[in-house]
Structure 1
Amino acid sequence: MEVLELRSAVLMNIEVFLLLNEFAQDKGEMLKHESAWGNIADEFQDLNTVQHETMAYLSGTPASKITLAQAATYVRESEAYGLTKLENLIILNLRPWHQPVVEAIVEDYSIRFPPPEETAKNSTPNGTVHLRPLRKVILDYLPYEDPDKEYADDDDDEDEEDRGEEGNGMEVDG
């Protein structure tokens, strides 16, 4: 076997997730007709394990919540920002919801996207088109539940308990 084109394309997690789902459905159809093909399941046990583990991992990522249409809409909307294919790929795979994460993904973020007040100082008399913050575009077009919410709710309960314990033993003389 010979490799004709090395790394000719990079897949998004959503594409891998959908492809593996399709393979799982096809495998179900093949197993219905297993007697005609012989015992296929045993021959592909290692492949089945890799497929299962990959699906289990991707089910916990934003890839399981995003559709290809949403990804295409995001890419179309983000064209104005001049992001590289790799930056878009990482954003689609990670689905960042915090600004520092977005800044870490996009190379030279502070240079490429200066704060609005700096842009206004350097604008021409004709005016400069101000882009919405990239994070806002990500939040608008790539839905994903913030996993920090679960922990934030738990932390709030703990904080209330801590405050209650601190206040029990102290009295303030006025």
Structure 2
Amino acid sequence: MEVISENSAMLSNFEVYGLLTDIQAGRGQNKPNKHQQQLATITYETIKYLETKPCKHQSQESIIEFMKELEPFNLTKAEKVQILNLCPTTAVEIQLIVEESEERLTEDQIYSLLEVITKYNPGEQEEAETDPARD
């Protein structure tokens, strides 16, 4: 993965995860050396954290399709990135992410949005199927 402009973009967790795994593997960027121990630790800890998040199960293709399906909801770029990163599962979570959601989204739109999120978040479905404690 390549960072196009270092100073001007909101990055999704998927992009950060890809960049950090590339750095850790020494692809594209320089792998942290013994003089950059803090960078190596931050890289490791952040990757470890992101591996527990939805970005672990996302792909560039699925994100493109997901963003297309979000278009009818008239969300801001920041709201779309937050929804992509957090994959909310309840109407309350949507309301916390979308500014002035009561005025901008109907109840039906909120539930339609949750259906889109579920469709593109296979990690949650896989965890629910494999984790008997969630039943």
Whether TM exceeds 0.5 here: the answer is yes
Q: Is contact 1:103-1:109 (8 Å) kept? A: yes
Partner of 1:9: 9
**Contact kept in structure 1, 2:14 and 2:55, CA below 8 Å:** yes
Change (3 A) 1:60 1:115: closer
Letter in 2 for 1:92: L
Report the TM-score, using the length of structure 2 for normalisation: 0.78
Aligned mate of 2:34, from 30, 42, 45:
42
| Structure 1: tracts of 5 or more residues without a match | 32-39, 117-129, 154-174
- The offset of 1:101, in angstroms, is 0.9
Question: Structure 2: which 5+ residue stretches go unaligned?
Answer: none
Q: 2:75–2:98: 8 Å Cα contact kept in structure 1?
A: yes
Q: Distance in 1 between matches of 2:97 and 2:122?
A: 18
Match of 2:85 among 93, 100, 114: 93
User: What displacement does 1:80 show?
Assistant: 1.1
Count, aligned residues? 126
Q: How big is the shift at 1:92? A: 0.7
- Contact 2:83/2:97 (8 A) holds in 1: yes
Q: Percent same amino acid at aligned positions?
A: 30
Do the aligned partners of 2:17 and 2:47 also contact (CA within 8 Å) in 1? yes
Deviation per CA, 1:99-138, whole angstroms, max 9, x where unpaired?
221122112222222245xxxxxxxxxxxxx897111111
Choose 1 or 2 for highest CA Rg. Answer: 1
* SS of residue paired to 2:84: helix
Aligned residue number for residue 106 of structure 2: 114
